[in-house]
Amino acid sequence: MTMDFQYTILIPILLFFSFVYNILWGRTRSPKIAGLISTTTILIAAVLSYYTAYQYFFNVGLVNGSYEKIIAFKMVWLHFSDTLVVDMGILLDPISIMMLVVVTTISSMVHIYSFGYMHGDDGFARFYAFLSLFSFSMLGLVVSSNIFQMYIFWELVGVSSFLLIGYYYQKPSAVAAAKKAFIVTRFADLGFLVGILLISYVTGSLDFAVLTDPNGPVMLQGASLGFMGLSVMTWALILIFIGGAGKSAMFPFHIWLPDAMEGPTPVSALIHAATMVVAGVYLVARLFPLFHIAAPNAQYVVLAVGGFTSLFAAVIAITQIDIKRVLAFSTLSQLGYMMAALGASGYGAEEGIGYTASMWHLFTHAMFKALLFLGAGSIIHAVHSNNMTDMGGLRKYMPITHITFLIGTLAIAGIPPFAGFFSKDEILVALHQSSHFWYWVEVITAGLTAFYMFRLYFNVFWGENRHYHHKPHESSLSMTFPLMFLAFMAIVSGGFFMFDFGAFISSNLVPYDIHIHWDIAGLSIFVALIGISLAAMLYLKPSGISTKMATALGPVYKATYNKFYFDEIYLFVTHKIIFNLIARPSAWFDRHVVDGFMNMLAWITNFVSGSIKGLQSGQLQHYAMSFVSGAVALALFFLYFMTR
Amino acid sequence: MDILSLLIVVPVLTILAIAFTKNYKQVRVIAAIGTGIQLFQSFNLVWQYLQERAAGNTAIMVFTKSYIWFEKFNIKYDIGVDGISVALIALTGIIVTAGVYASWGVKEQAKEFFIWLLLLATGVFGFFIAIDLFTMFVFYEIAVIPMYLLIGVWGSGKKEYSAMKLTLMLMGASAILLVAIIGLYIYSNPQGGPLTWNILELANVTMPIEMQRIFFPMAFVGFGALGALFPFHTWSPDGHASAPTAVSMLHAGVLMKLGGYGALRIAVGLMPEAAQEQAWFFMILTAFGAVYGAFGAIMQTDLKYINAYSSVSHLAMILFAILMFNATAMNGAVLQMISHGFITALFFSLIGMIYGRTHTRDIYKMGGLMKVMPILAGTYMVASFASLGLPGFSAFVAEMTIFVGAFQHPDLFHRVATILVASSIVVTAVYILRAAGILLMGPIKNDEFKSLGDALWYEKVTLIVLIGSITVMGMAPLWLSDMIMKSLTPMLQGFVTL
């Protein structure tokens, strides 16, 4: 049965109008109106997305055994040349529909939550305007039918992220964090752009339909052209992956994400945990056939970077004290899992389990990580501090936050029957099939994850009872409702789909059955339990063991706590090298050498004219004198020649 | 009166009307009316042009008229427009209008100020409609001369020095240019017979390659110096820093585009063989200039210097794209002329407005302005995003067209140079956000600034006109891009790819 999906254009358009209205007129109206407009539009978008998902999966369903890619809408935006065309379109396929659901769900929850969290803030309307802008851009990104369209929205989510990180613009640290996030990702986006340029040059197309057709001519193009031992297509995809790594904060571009926690907590939940940061993963998934078939080397890079980042970030997360930063590093680590799964995946139904697992983990992670962040926001709202050293024993004061946070923690730790267990298990299965080395890395990471998450949980909700200036109390319903909803999702999105996620999403659009591999799952549960027990030993009751261990480890602890000094390295490169060795000298060179040369020309002209201007003194005697001597000289001259 | 000549007549009539006014209030009202009519005419021209094309007129130039001006040398008042000049005329109309509202507060010698300003505009309009090289050159000079007075009299800082420097360098460049133009004229008829200055006729003649080798660099540098070609750009930072607001807007927004337009239509368009031979050299200069200008901007503390160096970087992309001999890249060059015109005019008008309140342009002396003047600061933020090439704004369209076009070149050297130029967008982000961060965000540094007011009505007119143009072009670029592209095709057909 064919379906007309043209109405889906409304999803981004509505949000765009909400943004325009709020940014232009929001300030002058009551803040509530701005909030209501944004929230209503995102809820409508969510309903439309669910409806689309229902129609797509159950009404249109399979055609000849596989899902179709449907172009619901398409218009030409710009002609570069006859073949290189930028379309604005809406591409509906399983992953884009899944993303529609994820983005609108999380975004709706964050909108509702912010009513409570941002209550009374000066920039309430501005906040909601930017949320709408972000949702618009993110939805535009996921439905892109053209790689250039994706790049356009890619940049727009980047700027929304900038605006929201720097929301408290009077705070210098927030401004610095916003700038850092923008510039680091912009640098990575240059890779994306050059990658697009290479692709456009090699294939002569920007259309995803052409680029990802596994049987199309694109798969072979650029294979013959080589550069430094790798084909041009490999280079192009590595460059595009750099763009994805920047957005998804993969090592070594990870440095912006922890700082991005300067933004309001609902923003961290929406942008820097659940949706925008998965754009890099989504990009690789979107181009997956190209990665797997045309450039296996580039796919290996994805695996290695993803795998390394997940371990690296997990190690750092153990030592952090700011609860939002612990969560930020855990986001990095989980994104690493998703990337690694894509890197390890094959193409096909069962062979492509990594692909399915990655998307599944994207889905479940969005739910439980948004839950954890919003929970953290609820805690921060009550305690007025980000540091877990200022917290303890909060379970008594905030029962809903406590229970929902525990559900989120269990989900991320990979304990059945919570969502994270299922998706993580499939990732480990995919890695087990592809590379034992990265499999073990991720098993270890799973243990670390359980440890640092329960360290956080015990420290905040158990541990020492603090003396609080104001007695902490549970947040209002607008904040607890999203927590409960997301907790519900964190339970069902794994178990509910238990053997079904493959029925919706697979690398070649052909559905298949997913099974739990108890040998692998058993090990990962075991590792997670070890992590939890260790954390319980150290942090459930106040004990000095952890401090002693930190002192005993000395420099190792310090290096980890300081995130292995990557921020310092970047500062050194930007300020010492780029600013002092390139920018300052070029400014100096321009003023003194280039301009100096021009001024010297002027000076010489001036000097010469100054030296000879004495000849025109305006005094008659001088003129007469010159005239007479000239005449005499001429006379002598002519006489001399005439008489020869 | 034909539709094109009216574009010169209206500003001249406005100037005459201003000459009879009694006080500054009358002056600005008349200036606003005159430029309003001019703006309408510019848009009408675009409309008429599109109608003409839709009706099937495929001539290279439309609305052509020709009057003999100086018979002995066959100098004619030859006018005509194609998609490129029409687009730039619309740009000029918009910037001039915005400039008049930005100068609403000028009270000292307002009459003379507006007269010179409109004379400058007349020159620019004349330049874009002329297709006779000599007439074009005359209009070019009409546009450049008022600059000296406008900066020297109404400017700030070391204005005499800057005005002198700007005028001398541009005069030097136009002297070289004049030689090239005369060269084109002399070799316009190798078979003997009457010589011509007409661009259309010149396009059909192939100048001997030996001569092209001499005259092409002269024409390219002559126009390039006006378009801030490295290393002939140094007049621009000082000139902009000293110029009054509207003059900076017009100068950076429009006048500097004469350089790119001339380089495209005359230097490359009429001497393509030598251009292709020597492109590599100028490509190095322009690619270097794009990155160098951006790095130069990082360490500046004066808002106008930041913007001037930023212009050096963005204008280098125009000249770079012109040398690509590729319809897409050249299209990008024209789009960048228009886009940069809007954005830089917006920046300079904002800087003028901020300076008018704080009496400083040093970013370190300001801070937290967002709290004090949300509209001006918010607009500055939008301008910043536009300038760093964010989608939804015009610069993105222009820069991407340049990069994609230039990258299609089969030669590896061209593609590597393109990547170098593209890398400047990262540096751009650094200096733009640095400046915006210090200026607009953070705590309010100076308590005196807490009582400053936000944008006034005429300032809002300027801002709305410019932001509107930037976003319309950024969101719906197709019609503009296609209009320009169609006019580039006949030009490119004349080129033989080496």
What's the whole-number average pLDDT of chain B? 88
A-to-B residue pairs, Cβ atoms closer than 8 angstroms: 131
pLDDT at A619 over 90: no
Which residue's structure tokens are 């995809």? A237
Q: Which of A78, A179, A598 sits opposite B433 (nearest CB)?
A: A179
Q: Tell me the nearest-neighbour CA distance from A181 into chain B, angstroms.
A: 11
The pLDDT of residue B209 is: 85
Lowest mean pLDDT segment, chosen from A84-98, A213-227, B194-208: A213-227
Q: Does B64 touch chain A (CB under 8 A)?
A: no
SS (H, E, C) A150-212: HHHHHHHHHHHHHHHHCCCCCCHHHHHHHHHHHHHHHHHHHHHHHHHHHHHHHHCCCEHHHHC
Q: Which residues neighbour B259 within 8 Å (Cβ) at sequence distance 6 or greater?
A: B223, B224, B225, B226, B227, B228, B229, B315, B319
Number of Cβ within a 10 Å radius of residue A177: 22
The pLDDT of residue A506 is: 86
Secondary structure of residue B69 in the 3-state scheme: strand
The pLDDT of residue B498 is: 38
Q: Is residue B355 in a domain?
A: yes
Q: What confidence category does residue A288 fall into, taking pLDDT thresholds of 50, 70 and 90?
A: very high
Q: What confidence category does residue A178 fall into, taking pLDDT thresholds of 50, 70 and 90?
A: very high
Q: A169 and B443 in contact by Cβ < 8 A?
A: no
In the predicted model, what is the mean pLDDT of residues A65-92? Answer: 89
The pLDDT of residue A143 is: 94
> Which residue is closest to B166 within chain A, CA to CA?
A598
SS (H, E, C) A24-58: HHHHHCCHHHHHHHHHHHHHHHHHHHHHHHHHHHH
Nearest Cα residue to B254 out of B447, B112, B85:
B85
Amino acid in position B127: F
Lowest mean pLDDT segment, chosen from A29-33, A111-115, B467-471: A29-33
For residue B298, which residues of chain A lie inside 8 Å, CB to CB?
578-579, 583, 587
Q: Which of A176, A193, A584 sits opposite B299 (nearest CB)?
A: A584
The pLDDT of residue A3 is: 63
In the predicted model, what is the mean pLDDT of residues A335-350? Answer: 90
| Contact assessment for residue B153 and residue B164, using Cβ atoms and an 8 Å cutoff | no
| Contact assessment for residue A324 and residue A268, using Cβ atoms and an 8 Å cutoff | yes
With b for 16 or more beta-carbon neighbours within 10 A and e for fewer, the A543-572 pattern comes to eeeeeeeeeeeeeeeeebeebeebeeebee
Amino acid in position B387: S
Number of Cβ within a 10 Å radius of residue A597: 12
Lowest mean pLDDT segment, chosen from A370-379, A404-413, B267-276: B267-276
In the predicted model, what is the mean pLDDT of residues A476-500? Answer: 82
SS (H, E, C) A538-603: HHCCCCCHHHHHHHHHCHHHHHHHCHHHHHHHHHHHHHHHHHHHHHHHHHHHHHHHHHHHHHHHHH
In the predicted model, what is the mean pLDDT of residues B33-57? Answer: 90
pLDDT, one tens digit per residue, over A240-266 is 999 999 999 998 898 899 888 988 999
pLDDT at B336 over 80: yes
pLDDT at B497 over 50: no
For testing contact with chain A, the best of B160, B295, B444 (most A CBs within 10 A):
B295
Q: What confidence category does residue A626 fall into, taking pLDDT thresholds of 50, 70 and 90?
A: confident
Which residue's structure tokens are 């305690």? A383
Distances B392 to A20, B343, B387, B477, B488 between C-alpha atoms, Å: 13, 13, 11, 10, 25
Task: Say which residue, A552 or B291, is predicted with more confidence.
Answer: B291
In the predicted model, what is the mean pLDDT of residues B237-247? Answer: 87
Q: Which residues neighbour A504 within 8 Å (Cβ) at sequence distance 6 or greater?
A: A57, A94, A98, A511
The phi-psi region of residue A414 (left if phi > 0; otherwise alpha if psi is between -120 and 50; otherwise beta) is left
Q: Tell me the nearest-neighbour CA distance from B355 into chain A, angstroms.
A: 21
For residue B235, which residues of chain A lie inside 8 Å, CB to CB?
598
For residue B405, which residues of chain A lie inside 8 Å, CB to CB?
80-81
Amino acid in position A217: P
| Contact assessment for residue A187 and residue A570, using Cβ atoms and an 8 Å cutoff | no
pLDDT at A49 over 70: yes
The pLDDT of residue B495 is: 64
Q: Tell me the nearest-neighbour CA distance from B448 into chain A, angstroms.
A: 17
For residue B407, which residues of chain A lie inside 8 Å, CB to CB?
197-198, 200-201
pLDDT at A498 over 70: no
Distances B122 to B86, B221, B254, B440 between C-alpha atoms, Å: 15, 24, 12, 37
In the predicted model, what is the mean pLDDT of residues A459-464? Answer: 82
Interfacial B residues in 283-312 facing A (CB < 8 Å) = 292, 295-296, 298-300, 309
In the predicted model, what is the mean pLDDT of residues B116-126? Answer: 92
What's the whole-number average pLDDT of chain A? 87
Q: A197 and B403 in contact by Cβ < 8 A?
A: yes
| Contact assessment for residue A194 and residue B422, using Cβ atoms and an 8 Å cutoff | yes
Q: Tell me the nearest-neighbour CA distance from A113 into chain B, angstroms.
A: 26
The pLDDT of residue A53 is: 92
Quote the tokens at residue A114: 């912010």
Cα–Cα distance measured from residue B369 to residue A245, given in angstroms and rounded to the nearest whole number? 35
pLDDT at A408 over 70: yes
ipTM surpasses cut 0.95: no
Q: Is the peptide bond before B231 cis (omega within 30 degrees of 0)?
A: yes
Q: Tell me the nearest-neighbour CA distance from A197 into chain B, angstroms.
A: 6
pLDDT more than 70, % of chain A: 96
Cα–Cα distance measured from residue A82 to residue A65, given in angstroms and rounded to the nearest whole number? 35
Q: Does B471 touch chain A (CB under 8 A)?
A: no
The pLDDT of residue A643 is: 67
pLDDT, one tens digit per residue, over B175-227 is 899 999 988 888 888 777 788 888 888 888 888 888 888 899 999 999 998 88
Quote the tokens at residue A588: 């100096």
Task: Say which residue, B106 or B323, is predicted with more confidence.
Answer: B323
pLDDT at A31 over 90: no
Q: Which of A175, A186, A590 sits opposite B442 (nearest CB)?
A: A175
Q: What confidence category does residue B235 fall into, taking pLDDT thresholds of 50, 70 and 90?
A: confident
Strand A226-227 to A230-231 pairing? antiparallel
In the predicted model, what is the mean pLDDT of residues A363-372? Answer: 92
Strand A85-92 to A226-227 pairing? unpaired
For residue A156, which residues of chain B lie inside 8 Å, CB to CB?
390-392
Q: CB-based burial of residue A395 (10 Å sphere; 0-12 exposed, 13-18 middle, 19+ buried)?
A: middle
pLDDT at A218 over 80: no
Interfacial B residues in 430-469 facing A (CB < 8 Å) = 430, 433-434, 437, 440-444
Q: Which residues neighbour A28 within 8 Å (Cβ) at sequence distance 6 or greater?
A: none
In the predicted model, what is the mean pLDDT of residues A80-87? Answer: 87
Q: Is residue B14 in a domain?
A: yes
Q: Is residue B125 in a domain?
A: yes
Amino acid in position B279: A
> Which residue is closest to A227 within chain B, CA to CA?
B412
Q: What is the CA radius of gyration of chain A?
A: 31
> Which residue is closest to A150 within chain B, CA to CA?
B391
For testing contact with chain B, the best of A74, A137, A170, A173 (most B CBs within 10 A):
A170
Interfacial B residues in 129-188 facing A (CB < 8 Å) = 165, 168-169
Cα–Cα distance measured from residue B473 to residue B397, given in angstroms and rounded to the nearest whole number? 8
Nearest Cα residue to B105 out of B116, B95, B115, B113:
B113
pLDDT at A496 over 70: no
Q: Is residue B402 in a domain?
A: yes
Global pTM reads: 0.91
The pLDDT of residue A644 is: 62
Cα–Cα distance measured from residue A112 to residue A117, given in angstroms and rounded to the nearest whole number? 9
pLDDT at A131 over 90: yes
Nearest Cα residue to A84 out of A259, A211, A252:
A211
Q: Is residue B471 in a domain?
A: yes
The pLDDT of residue A1 is: 43
Contacts 24+ apart (CB under 8 A), A438-442: A438/A303, A438/A304, A438/A307, A438/A340, A438/A344, A441/A307, A441/A308, A441/A310, A441/A311, A442/A307, A442/A310, A442/A311, A442/A337, A442/A340
Residue B90 belongs to what domain range? 6-492
pLDDT more than 90, % of chain B: 39
Q: What confidence category does residue A2 fall into, taking pLDDT thresholds of 50, 70 and 90?
A: low
Cα–Cα distance measured from residue B265 to residue A447, given in angstroms and rounded to the nearest whole number? 67
Q: Is residue B33 in a domain?
A: yes
For residue A144, which residues of chain B lie inside 8 Å, CB to CB?
none
In the predicted model, what is the mean pLDDT of residues A566-586? Answer: 79
Lowest mean pLDDT segment, chosen from A106-110, A516-520, B37-41: A516-520
Q: A155 and B391 in contact by Cβ < 8 A?
A: yes
Q: Is residue B474 in a domain?
A: yes
Quote the tokens at residue A213: 């057709």
Q: A77 and B231 in contact by Cβ < 8 A?
A: no
In the predicted model, what is the mean pLDDT of residues B346-356? Answer: 91
Q: Is residue B497 in a domain?
A: no
Total domain count for chain B? Answer: 1
